[in-house]
Amino acid sequence: MSTSSSSADTRTLLIVIGLIGGLLLLMFLGCGGLIYISYVQMKPMMDAMQTMIADVTATEALGKQFLDDIRDGKIEQAYGLTSADFKKRMSLEAFTEFVNAHPRLKD
């Protein structure tokens, strides 16, 4: 009788360990799935943020170059950094007059 009781106890123990292992595996797979879904959902937003940061950095560098050119008296180079729309509204001559009329731009 002790052999069959020992065999039943071993079998019960194996079933319990199997159930616990299965539940742990399901929990890990569920957490992994949630992490993956979160990553997939957030990736476009993260890419857009990286693009925006790169654009802001490039714009800041361009603005600094523009002001440095004005400060160094390189009016034509500064004017060359402006947009086509700006150039339609203001000629190089008018831009030069504007810069010369505002000496603080050269400080």
**Contact between residue 79 and residue 95 where contact means Cβ atoms under 8 Å apart:** yes
Q: How confident is the model at residue 3 (pLDDT cuts 50, 70, 90)?
A: low
Task: Give per-residue pLDDT as tens, 48-96.
Answer: 999 999 999 999 999 999 999 999 999 999 999 999 999 999 999 999 9
The token pair at 104 is 């603080």
Q: Rounded distance, CA 22 to CA 35, Å?
A: 20
Q: What is the pTM of this model?
A: 0.60
Q: Rounded distance, CA 58 to CA 22, Å?
A: 52
Integer CA distances (angstroms), 27 to 21, 35, 69, 107, in order: 10, 12, 61, 64
Q: How confident is the model at residue 9 (pLDDT cuts 50, 70, 90)?
A: confident
**Contact between residue 66 and residue 76 where contact means Cβ atoms under 8 Å apart:** no
The 8-class DSSP code of residue 90 comes to: S
2, pLDDT greater than 80:
no
